[in-house]
Structure 1
Amino acid sequence: MFPYTHSLSPFLLEFSQGIGLRWYGISYIAAFIFAAFIIKWKVKDLESSLKVKEVSDFVYFVAFGILIGGRLGYCIFYAPHLFLEWHSSFPFWGILELHKGGMASHGGMLGVIAACYLYARKKQLPFLHLVDLAALSAGIGLFFGRLANFINGELYGRVCVEACAFGVRFPQELYRWLQEMPSKLRALAPLVETMSAKNIGVPGEVINAEIWNSWITQLLSHSSSAQYHVNLWIHKIILLAERSNPMVVDGLKVLSVRYPSQIFQAFLEGFLVFVVCFFIWQKPRPLGFITGCFGLCYSIARIIGEAYRMPDLSIGFQWLGLTRGQWLSIAFIILSMYFLLFSMRSKEKTL
C-alpha cells in the first residue's frame, strides 16, 4: 500500500471540469459548524456575556474575518504580486481569484482578531472574551483545513526515504519539476507516450517519447512553446491521477516519496492544540489567556510541522534555513506571550 501515490479528487461532486463541490470548501463549512457548537457549549458553561442566540451571528462575523484575513494574509506574506495582477475576465483582480487557492492561516488569525474587535464594539461585549471563544474552536477549523490540503495534494511534505511506512507521492510535485528541475521530466516519457497511444492525453496532440524529450531539451533553453506543451501534459496527468486512472497512477512511481505533512499538521496544529486549550479552560482563566495559550501552542506546533513540509515554491527556504511559515510563527509566539502576560496582569474578571 505504501508508498502511496496520491490519487484523491479535490471535488466531492464535480458537475463539469473544474466546477463542483470542493473538499476545501466543505472543510470551511465543517469548521464553522463545529465552531458554532463548541462556542455555544462554552457560552452555556460560563457566565458569558455573549448570549447563546448571538453565537450564530458571531460565527458569521468570524467566518468573514477568516476569509478576508486569510486571503489578504496570503497575498501579503506569500504572493504580493497578486496586488498588481489584473485580468480581462472575472473576477479581474488577482486578489479575488479565490478559485485558484491561496489562504494563509496566520492572516486568518489576524482576521479573526479584527472580526472579534468589530463584533465587540457592535454589541458592547468584552473583546478578549470573544477572542478566547474563537481561539478555543480554531484548532478544529485548522484540523479540517489541513485534511483538505491533503485531499488537494497541496502543501506536501519534504522527501523521505523510499521505505517510509507512510510515504506519499504527490502528482503536484510535477509543477515543482517544471519550475526548478525540468530535466527530471524526462522520466515521464514512457507515460506520456502510452497516454498518447491510448488517446487519453492532451486533445489534438499525438506524441512519443522522442517528441517529449525534445520538448524538455527546448525547455532547458527557456522555450516558451515547449513550456506551453509540457504544462498542458502535466495538467492532464494530474487531472487523470485525481480520477484514479490506474495507468497514470502507476506511471507516477517516478515521483519522490514524501512525508504527508498535511496529516502531521492536522494533528499537531489542529487536534492537539484544540485538546490542550480545551483542558486549560476547564477552570476559570483571565480574559485573553486562552488566546495566548492557543497562539503559543499553535506557533510551536506549526514550527515543528513545517520541518516536514516543503516551503512554498515561489519563496523557498529563508534565513537560517527556516520557512516563511516558521518565521511568521516566531512572530506569533511574541504576540501570544503579550496576550498571556497582559491577561495575567489584567484586573478584568476571569471566565
Structure 2
Amino acid sequence: MNMLLNFIHWGPDPVLFSLGPIELRYYSLCWLLAIVLAYILMLRVFKKEGKSQELLDQLTIYVFIGIFLGARLGHCLFYDFAYYKDHIIEIFLPIQQVNGSWKLTGFAGLASHGAAFGTLASLLLFSRKYKIDFMWLADRLALVVPISGAFVRLGNFFNSEMIGH
C-alpha cells in the first residue's frame, strides 16, 4: 500500500488567486471560514440562551486576539526562538528584513498549542471583565473549537504542512 502512495505527488499552489500584489491563500480562506462559522454557530447559542449579540461581538474580539497572539507567540518561542530573539519586530508585524530593507510577507508561523493558551487567557480576561462564569464560556466555545480546528487543519493541508514534510 505504501508504494501506491509514493506515486501521489501533493504540491498544490497555496495561492487560490491573486489580484496584483494581493494574494488569497487557501490557508487564509480556511481561517476566515473557521472564524465566520464559529461566530454564526455561537450567535445561535447566545440567542437561544438569552445573551446579547453585543456580548458575543466582544467575546469574538477577545478570542480572536487571544488566538492569534497565542499562536504567533507559540510559534516564535517554541519553534524559532533563535531567529526571533534577534528580530522581535517580526513577531508582531507581518514584515521581514531582507537585504537591509523591509518586505511585507504576511504572518508565517502559527502554533495551535499557542492558540489554545491564547484562547484560555482571553476567556479568563473576558470572564473577569464581564463577570461571566469561565466554565460557561469554555463550555459554549467547546462547541465551535473542533469545527474551527478542522478548517484550520484543512488550510495546513493545502499548505502541504500536514503530510509529513
Fold shared per TM-score above 0.5: yes
| Distance change >3 Å, CA 128–CA 68, structure 1 → 2 | same
Q: Give the partner amino acid of 1:130.
A: L
Secondary structure of the corresponding residue to residue 5 of structure 1? coil
Query: What TM-score do you get using the length of structure 2 for normalisation?
Result: 0.78
Matched, 1:154 2:154: no
Unaligned runs of 5+ in 1: 87-91, 158-172, 174-351
Matched, 1:36 2:39: yes
Q: Give the partner amino acid of 1:83.
A: Y
- The match for 1:119 is 126
Matched, 1:96 2:99: no
Percent identity at matched positions? 29
1:100, distance to aligned residue in structure 2 (A): 5.2
**How many Å separate the matches in 1 of 2:33 and 2:147?**
9
Structure with higher strand content:
2
Query: What TM-score do you get using the length of structure 1 for normalisation?
Result: 0.39
**Which of residues 128, 140, 147 is equivalent to 1:140?**
147
Unaligned runs of 5+ in 2: 95-105
| Distance change >3 Å, CA 11–CA 127, structure 1 → 2 | same
- The match for 2:72 is 71
**How many Å separate the matches in 1 of 2:58 and 2:26?**
25
Q: Give the partner amino acid of 2:15.
A: F
- The match for 1:10 is 14
1:85, 1:94 within 8 Å by CA — same for their partners in 2?
no
Q: Give the partner amino acid of 2:46.
A: V
| Distance change >3 Å, CA 14–CA 125, structure 1 → 2 | same
**How many Å separate the matches in 2 of 1:14 and 1:101?**
18
Q: How many residue pairs get matched?
A: 150
Q: Give the partner amino acid of 1:22.
A: R
2:63, 2:119 within 8 Å by CA — same for their partners in 1?
yes
Q: Give the partner amino acid of 1:37.
A: I
Q: Which has the higher contact order (CA 8 A, sep 6+)?
A: 2
**How many Å separate the matches in 2 of 1:141 and 1:41?**
16
**How many Å separate the matches in 2 of 1:135 and 1:104?**
19
Dislocated runs of 4+, deviation >3 Å: none
1:96, distance to aligned residue in structure 2 (A): 3.2
**How many Å separate the matches in 1 of 2:139 and 2:83?**
32
2:31, 2:155 within 8 Å by CA — same for their partners in 1?
no
1:82, 1:94 within 8 Å by CA — same for their partners in 2?
no
1:121-200 equivalence runs, <5 A: 121-157=128-164
Q: Give the partner amino acid of 1:118.
A: L
Q: Give the partner amino acid of 1:95.
A: I
2:66, 2:121 within 8 Å by CA — same for their partners in 1?
yes
**How many Å separate the matches in 2 of 1:33 and 1:100?**
20
Q: Give the partner amino acid of 1:33.
A: V
**Which of residues 92, 112, 117 is equivalent to 1:110?**
117
Secondary structure of the corresponding residue to residue 156 of structure 1? coil
- The match for 2:27 is 24
